[in-house]
Amino acid sequence: MEENILKKISFSAIQPSGTPTLGNYLGALKNWAALQEEFNCIYAIADLHALTVRQEPAELRKRTLAAISLAIACGIDPSRSLLFVQSHVHTHAELAWILNCWTPFGELSRMTQFKDKSQSHADNVNAGLFDYPVLMAADILLYNADVVPIGNDQKQHLELARNIAVRFNGIFPDVFRVPEPYMPKQGARVMSLQDPAKKMSKSDPNPNSYVSMLDDRDTIVRKFKRAVTDSGAEVRRGEGKDGINNLIDIYCAACGKTPDEVEREFAGKGYGDFKLAVGEAVADVLAPIKAEFDRLMGDKAYLEKVCADGADAALGVSSRTLRKVYKKVGLLQIK
Protein backbone atom coordinates (compact mmCIF):
# COMPACT_ATOMS: atom_id res chain seq x y z
CA MET A 1 0.00 0.00 0.00
CA GLU A 2 1.43 3.34 -1.08
CA GLU A 3 0.27 5.71 1.64
CA ASN A 4 -0.32 9.38 0.88
CA ILE A 5 0.06 11.32 4.14
CA LEU A 6 -2.17 14.08 2.78
CA LYS A 7 -5.12 11.71 2.44
CA LYS A 8 -7.40 10.64 5.24
CA ILE A 9 -7.74 6.94 6.14
CA SER A 10 -10.90 5.06 5.19
CA PHE A 11 -11.79 1.61 6.59
CA SER A 12 -14.31 -0.81 5.06
CA ALA A 13 -15.03 -4.50 5.61
CA ILE A 14 -17.18 -7.12 3.95
CA GLN A 15 -18.10 -10.59 5.14
CA PRO A 16 -17.38 -13.61 2.91
CA SER A 17 -21.01 -14.67 3.12
CA GLY A 18 -21.57 -15.54 -0.51
CA THR A 19 -21.49 -13.80 -3.87
CA PRO A 20 -22.78 -10.21 -3.63
CA THR A 21 -25.79 -9.21 -5.67
CA LEU A 22 -26.21 -6.50 -8.26
CA GLY A 23 -27.70 -4.45 -5.42
CA ASN A 24 -24.55 -4.84 -3.32
CA TYR A 25 -22.44 -3.78 -6.29
CA LEU A 26 -24.42 -0.74 -7.43
CA GLY A 27 -25.19 0.32 -3.87
CA ALA A 28 -21.71 -0.04 -2.34
CA LEU A 29 -18.96 -2.11 -3.97
CA LYS A 30 -18.91 0.07 -7.08
CA ASN A 31 -17.80 2.96 -4.86
CA TRP A 32 -14.94 1.05 -3.22
CA ALA A 33 -12.57 1.53 -6.16
CA ALA A 34 -13.50 5.20 -6.46
CA LEU A 35 -12.67 5.80 -2.79
CA GLN A 36 -9.03 5.02 -3.56
CA GLU A 37 -8.75 8.38 -5.31
CA GLU A 38 -9.82 10.30 -2.21
CA PHE A 39 -8.55 8.21 0.72
CA ASN A 40 -5.85 5.85 1.90
CA CYS A 41 -8.17 2.85 1.86
CA ILE A 42 -8.12 -0.20 4.11
CA TYR A 43 -10.32 -3.14 3.10
CA ALA A 44 -10.83 -6.23 5.26
CA ILE A 45 -12.51 -9.53 4.48
CA ALA A 46 -14.31 -10.00 7.80
CA ASP A 47 -14.22 -13.77 8.16
CA LEU A 48 -14.24 -13.66 11.98
CA HIS A 49 -17.56 -11.85 11.84
CA ALA A 50 -18.90 -14.59 9.58
CA LEU A 51 -18.48 -17.12 12.41
CA THR A 52 -21.51 -15.72 14.26
CA VAL A 53 -23.47 -17.95 11.86
CA ARG A 54 -22.59 -21.64 11.53
CA GLN A 55 -20.20 -22.15 8.60
CA GLU A 56 -19.07 -25.17 6.61
CA PRO A 57 -15.26 -24.85 6.96
CA ALA A 58 -14.21 -25.71 3.40
CA GLU A 59 -16.92 -23.45 2.00
CA LEU A 60 -15.87 -20.52 4.21
CA ARG A 61 -12.27 -20.84 3.02
CA LYS A 62 -13.43 -20.89 -0.59
CA ARG A 63 -15.69 -17.86 -0.09
CA THR A 64 -12.88 -15.94 1.60
CA LEU A 65 -10.61 -16.37 -1.41
CA ALA A 66 -13.55 -15.49 -3.65
CA ALA A 67 -14.14 -12.29 -1.68
CA ILE A 68 -10.50 -11.25 -2.17
CA SER A 69 -10.78 -12.01 -5.89
CA LEU A 70 -14.03 -10.11 -6.27
CA ALA A 71 -12.66 -7.08 -4.43
CA ILE A 72 -9.72 -6.91 -6.85
CA ALA A 73 -11.98 -7.57 -9.83
CA CYS A 74 -14.13 -4.61 -8.73
CA GLY A 75 -11.10 -2.34 -8.93
CA ILE A 76 -9.40 -2.49 -5.53
CA ASP A 77 -5.66 -2.32 -6.17
CA PRO A 78 -3.57 -4.11 -3.50
CA SER A 79 -0.61 -1.89 -4.37
CA ARG A 80 -2.63 1.24 -3.55
CA SER A 81 -4.90 -0.01 -0.77
CA LEU A 82 -4.48 -2.31 2.21
CA LEU A 83 -6.43 -5.49 1.47
CA PHE A 84 -6.33 -8.38 3.94
CA VAL A 85 -8.26 -11.18 5.64
CA GLN A 86 -9.32 -10.29 9.18
CA SER A 87 -8.36 -13.62 10.80
CA HIS A 88 -4.82 -13.31 9.41
CA VAL A 89 -4.24 -10.30 11.70
CA HIS A 90 -4.42 -11.37 15.35
CA THR A 91 -4.58 -7.82 16.69
CA HIS A 92 -8.29 -7.59 15.79
CA ALA A 93 -9.36 -10.29 18.24
CA GLU A 94 -6.93 -9.04 20.90
CA LEU A 95 -8.14 -5.44 20.82
CA ALA A 96 -11.76 -6.63 20.77
CA TRP A 97 -11.23 -8.29 24.17
CA ILE A 98 -9.76 -5.11 25.66
CA LEU A 99 -12.63 -3.04 24.28
CA ASN A 100 -15.14 -5.53 25.69
CA CYS A 101 -13.95 -4.48 29.11
CA TRP A 102 -14.80 -0.85 28.34
CA THR A 103 -18.20 -1.50 26.71
CA PRO A 104 -21.31 -1.54 28.93
CA PHE A 105 -23.66 -4.48 28.48
CA GLY A 106 -26.56 -2.05 28.10
CA GLU A 107 -25.06 -0.43 25.02
CA LEU A 108 -24.75 -3.76 23.24
CA SER A 109 -28.24 -4.84 24.25
CA ARG A 110 -29.65 -1.86 22.34
CA MET A 111 -28.16 -2.96 19.01
CA THR A 112 -31.14 -3.53 16.72
CA GLN A 113 -29.27 -5.90 14.39
CA PHE A 114 -28.71 -8.31 17.28
CA LYS A 115 -32.44 -8.41 17.89
CA ASP A 116 -33.15 -8.93 14.20
CA LYS A 117 -30.51 -11.63 13.72
CA SER A 118 -31.56 -13.40 16.91
CA GLN A 119 -34.97 -13.91 15.34
CA SER A 120 -33.59 -15.13 12.00
CA HIS A 121 -31.05 -17.45 13.72
CA ALA A 122 -33.07 -18.45 16.77
CA ASP A 123 -31.30 -21.82 16.99
CA ASN A 124 -27.88 -20.17 17.36
CA VAL A 125 -28.08 -16.98 19.42
CA ASN A 126 -24.43 -17.02 20.50
CA ALA A 127 -22.30 -14.55 22.45
CA GLY A 128 -20.43 -13.61 19.26
CA LEU A 129 -23.67 -12.48 17.65
CA PHE A 130 -24.26 -10.22 20.65
CA ASP A 131 -20.69 -8.98 20.85
CA TYR A 132 -19.62 -8.56 17.23
CA PRO A 133 -20.14 -4.76 17.22
CA VAL A 134 -17.16 -4.56 19.61
CA LEU A 135 -15.02 -6.55 17.16
CA MET A 136 -16.23 -4.16 14.48
CA ALA A 137 -15.07 -1.25 16.65
CA ALA A 138 -11.67 -2.91 17.04
CA ASP A 139 -11.44 -3.36 13.25
CA ILE A 140 -11.88 0.37 12.76
CA LEU A 141 -9.92 1.78 15.72
CA LEU A 142 -6.81 -0.32 15.10
CA TYR A 143 -6.04 1.64 11.93
CA ASN A 144 -6.80 5.17 13.15
CA ALA A 145 -9.48 5.43 10.51
CA ASP A 146 -10.69 8.96 9.87
CA VAL A 147 -13.81 7.85 8.05
CA VAL A 148 -15.93 4.73 7.65
CA PRO A 149 -18.16 4.51 4.56
CA ILE A 150 -21.53 3.28 5.81
CA GLY A 151 -25.11 2.73 4.81
CA ASN A 152 -28.15 3.44 6.95
CA ASP A 153 -28.07 -0.07 8.48
CA GLN A 154 -24.56 0.51 9.90
CA LYS A 155 -25.06 3.88 11.60
CA GLN A 156 -25.74 2.36 15.01
CA HIS A 157 -22.62 0.19 14.94
CA LEU A 158 -20.37 3.08 13.97
CA GLU A 159 -21.89 5.21 16.71
CA LEU A 160 -20.99 2.45 19.19
CA ALA A 161 -17.39 2.45 17.90
CA ARG A 162 -17.26 6.21 18.37
CA ASN A 163 -18.66 5.91 21.90
CA ILE A 164 -16.06 3.27 22.79
CA ALA A 165 -13.23 5.43 21.44
CA VAL A 166 -14.42 8.55 23.29
CA ARG A 167 -14.91 6.62 26.54
CA PHE A 168 -11.46 5.01 26.32
CA ASN A 169 -9.79 8.31 25.42
CA GLY A 170 -11.52 9.91 28.41
CA ILE A 171 -9.64 7.52 30.70
CA PHE A 172 -6.44 7.14 28.64
CA PRO A 173 -6.05 10.29 26.53
CA ASP A 174 -5.08 10.31 22.86
CA VAL A 175 -5.17 6.60 22.12
CA PHE A 176 -7.84 6.29 19.44
CA ARG A 177 -8.84 8.49 16.57
CA VAL A 178 -12.61 8.94 16.66
CA PRO A 179 -13.91 7.97 13.20
CA GLU A 180 -16.49 9.96 11.30
CA PRO A 181 -19.23 8.41 9.17
CA TYR A 182 -18.75 8.88 5.45
CA MET A 183 -21.75 8.65 3.19
CA PRO A 184 -20.42 7.93 -0.32
CA LYS A 185 -22.21 9.20 -3.38
CA GLN A 186 -25.54 7.47 -3.15
CA GLY A 187 -25.53 4.30 -5.17
CA ALA A 188 -28.65 2.80 -6.66
CA ARG A 189 -31.08 1.26 -4.19
CA VAL A 190 -31.82 -1.97 -6.00
CA MET A 191 -35.02 -3.77 -5.18
CA SER A 192 -36.09 -7.38 -5.71
CA LEU A 193 -36.99 -8.25 -9.29
CA GLN A 194 -39.94 -10.32 -8.05
CA ASP A 195 -41.09 -8.15 -5.14
CA PRO A 196 -39.96 -4.57 -5.82
CA ALA A 197 -41.27 -3.43 -2.44
CA LYS A 198 -38.23 -5.00 -0.72
CA LYS A 199 -34.48 -4.81 -1.26
CA MET A 200 -32.69 -7.28 -3.50
CA SER A 201 -31.13 -9.98 -1.31
CA LYS A 202 -29.11 -13.12 -2.01
CA SER A 203 -30.94 -14.81 0.87
CA ASP A 204 -34.24 -14.59 -1.00
CA PRO A 205 -35.49 -18.15 -1.65
CA ASN A 206 -36.57 -17.15 -5.17
CA PRO A 207 -33.40 -17.02 -7.35
CA ASN A 208 -35.26 -14.92 -9.94
CA SER A 209 -35.56 -12.11 -7.40
CA TYR A 210 -31.88 -11.19 -7.47
CA VAL A 211 -28.94 -10.99 -9.86
CA SER A 212 -25.63 -12.34 -8.58
CA MET A 213 -22.50 -10.48 -9.59
CA LEU A 214 -21.20 -13.73 -11.08
CA ASP A 215 -24.30 -14.70 -13.06
CA ASP A 216 -23.64 -15.31 -16.75
CA ARG A 217 -25.18 -13.12 -19.47
CA ASP A 218 -28.02 -15.49 -20.35
CA THR A 219 -29.04 -15.85 -16.71
CA ILE A 220 -29.00 -12.09 -16.15
CA VAL A 221 -31.10 -11.35 -19.23
CA ARG A 222 -33.55 -14.13 -18.37
CA LYS A 223 -34.05 -12.79 -14.83
CA PHE A 224 -34.78 -9.30 -16.10
CA LYS A 225 -37.22 -10.62 -18.68
CA ARG A 226 -39.11 -12.23 -15.78
CA ALA A 227 -38.98 -9.11 -13.62
CA VAL A 228 -42.29 -8.01 -12.09
CA THR A 229 -43.61 -4.69 -13.39
CA ASP A 230 -47.29 -3.64 -13.51
CA SER A 231 -50.27 -3.68 -15.84
CA GLY A 232 -49.11 -0.63 -17.81
CA ALA A 233 -46.97 -0.51 -20.91
CA GLU A 234 -45.27 2.89 -20.88
CA VAL A 235 -41.67 3.14 -19.63
CA ARG A 236 -42.26 6.01 -17.25
CA ARG A 237 -41.87 6.51 -13.53
CA GLY A 238 -44.97 6.86 -11.44
CA GLU A 239 -46.76 6.29 -8.16
CA GLY A 240 -47.54 2.63 -7.59
CA LYS A 241 -45.16 1.52 -10.36
CA ASP A 242 -42.51 0.04 -8.07
CA GLY A 243 -41.36 -2.55 -10.59
CA ILE A 244 -40.74 -0.19 -13.50
CA ASN A 245 -39.29 2.44 -11.16
CA ASN A 246 -36.78 -0.16 -9.98
CA LEU A 247 -35.81 -1.13 -13.51
CA ILE A 248 -35.35 2.50 -14.50
CA ASP A 249 -33.08 3.06 -11.48
CA ILE A 250 -31.01 -0.01 -12.41
CA TYR A 251 -30.72 1.06 -16.04
CA CYS A 252 -29.65 4.56 -14.98
CA ALA A 253 -26.95 3.12 -12.70
CA ALA A 254 -25.71 0.73 -15.39
CA CYS A 255 -25.63 3.29 -18.21
CA GLY A 256 -24.95 6.55 -16.39
CA LYS A 257 -28.18 8.12 -17.64
CA THR A 258 -30.85 10.14 -15.90
CA PRO A 259 -34.44 8.88 -15.52
CA ASP A 260 -35.64 11.57 -17.93
CA GLU A 261 -33.14 10.39 -20.54
CA VAL A 262 -34.31 6.81 -20.09
CA GLU A 263 -37.96 7.78 -20.51
CA ARG A 264 -37.14 9.64 -23.73
CA GLU A 265 -35.02 6.73 -25.03
CA PHE A 266 -37.89 4.27 -24.59
CA ALA A 267 -40.76 6.52 -25.59
CA GLY A 268 -43.18 4.45 -27.65
CA LYS A 269 -41.57 1.16 -26.64
CA GLY A 270 -43.03 -1.43 -24.29
CA TYR A 271 -41.91 -3.20 -21.16
CA GLY A 272 -40.55 -6.16 -23.11
CA ASP A 273 -38.05 -4.04 -25.02
CA PHE A 274 -37.07 -2.20 -21.85
CA LYS A 275 -36.54 -5.34 -19.74
CA LEU A 276 -34.28 -6.76 -22.44
CA ALA A 277 -32.27 -3.53 -22.58
CA VAL A 278 -31.86 -3.44 -18.80
CA GLY A 279 -30.70 -7.05 -18.72
CA GLU A 280 -28.16 -6.48 -21.46
CA ALA A 281 -26.86 -3.27 -19.84
CA VAL A 282 -26.38 -5.03 -16.51
CA ALA A 283 -24.70 -7.98 -18.23
CA ASP A 284 -22.29 -5.55 -19.95
CA VAL A 285 -21.37 -4.01 -16.59
CA LEU A 286 -20.82 -7.32 -14.79
CA ALA A 287 -19.13 -9.27 -17.62
CA PRO A 288 -15.61 -7.79 -17.19
CA ILE A 289 -15.83 -8.20 -13.42
CA LYS A 290 -16.76 -11.86 -13.79
CA ALA A 291 -13.99 -12.42 -16.35
CA GLU A 292 -11.37 -10.91 -14.05
CA PHE A 293 -12.77 -12.83 -11.08
CA ASP A 294 -12.49 -16.12 -12.99
CA ARG A 295 -8.91 -15.30 -13.99
CA LEU A 296 -7.92 -14.47 -10.41
CA MET A 297 -9.54 -17.58 -8.97
CA GLY A 298 -7.32 -19.58 -11.33
CA ASP A 299 -4.20 -17.99 -9.85
CA LYS A 300 -4.16 -19.23 -6.27
CA ALA A 301 -0.48 -18.35 -5.81
CA TYR A 302 -1.21 -14.69 -6.54
CA LEU A 303 -4.20 -14.62 -4.18
CA GLU A 304 -2.14 -16.18 -1.38
CA LYS A 305 0.56 -13.56 -1.94
CA VAL A 306 -2.03 -10.77 -1.74
CA CYS A 307 -3.30 -12.24 1.52
CA ALA A 308 0.20 -12.64 2.98
CA ASP A 309 1.38 -9.18 1.96
CA GLY A 310 -1.84 -7.61 3.20
CA ALA A 311 -1.63 -9.41 6.53
CA ASP A 312 1.98 -8.32 7.07
CA ALA A 313 1.16 -4.69 6.31
CA ALA A 314 -2.01 -4.71 8.42
CA LEU A 315 -0.19 -6.31 11.35
CA GLY A 316 2.53 -3.69 11.17
CA VAL A 317 0.02 -0.84 11.36
CA SER A 318 -2.36 -2.36 13.89
CA SER A 319 0.37 -3.63 16.26
CA ARG A 320 1.43 -0.06 16.97
CA THR A 321 -2.08 0.75 18.16
CA LEU A 322 -2.38 -2.44 20.19
CA ARG A 323 0.95 -1.89 21.93
CA LYS A 324 -0.17 1.59 22.94
CA VAL A 325 -3.43 0.17 24.32
CA TYR A 326 -1.66 -2.60 26.24
CA LYS A 327 0.68 -0.07 27.83
CA LYS A 328 -2.16 2.28 28.77
CA VAL A 329 -4.27 -0.40 30.46
CA GLY A 330 -1.31 -1.76 32.45
CA LEU A 331 -0.51 -5.05 30.73
CA LEU A 332 3.09 -6.15 31.28
CA GLN A 333 4.96 -6.15 28.01
CA ILE A 334 8.26 -7.81 27.13
CA LYS A 335 10.69 -6.81 24.42
Q: How many CA within 13 A on the CB side of residue 233?
A: 3
**How much is the pTM?**
0.89
Q: Return the pLDDT at 189.
A: 80
Q: For residue 185, how many other CB atoms are within 10 A of its CB?
A: 7
When mean pLDDT is compared across 59-73, 134-148, 233-247, the lowest value belongs to: 233-247
Can you give the pLDDT at residue 242?
A: 93
Query: For the purposes of burial, counting CB atoms within 10 Å of the CB of 206, is it exposed (0-12), middle (13-18) or buried (19 or more)?
Result: exposed
Question: What's the chain's average pLDDT?
Answer: 91
Backbone angles phi, psi at 138, to 5 degrees: -60, -40
Q: Indicate whether 118 pLDDT > 80.
A: no
What domains can be seen in the chain, in order of their start residue?
8-187+300-329 (3.40.50.620), 207-294 (1.10.240.10)
Grade residue 72 by pLDDT with cuts at 50, 70 and 90.
Answer: very high
Contacts of 326 (CB under 8 A, 6+ apart): 98, 333
Tens digits of residue pLDDT in 32-58: 888 999 999 999 999 999 998 889 999
Active-site amino acid positions: 117, 199, 202
Quickly state the pLDDT bin for 6 (edges 50, 70, 90): confident
The answer, yes or no, to whether residue 318 has pLDDT greater than 90, is yes
What is the amino acid identity at position 282? V
Region 151-158 average pLDDT: 80
Residue 192 in contact with residue 245, Cβ under 8 Å? no
pLDDT confidence bin for 120, thresholds 50/70/90: low
Q: How does pLDDT run across 211-224, given as a tens digit for each residue?
A: 999 999 999 999 99
Mean pLDDT of 124-128: 81
- pLDDT grade, residue 244 (50/70/90)? very high
pLDDT at 115 > cutoff 90: no
User: Across residues 263-285, what is the average pLDDT?
Assistant: 95
Please determine, for residue 2, whether its predicted confidence score (pLDDT) is greater than 70.
no
pLDDT for 185: 66
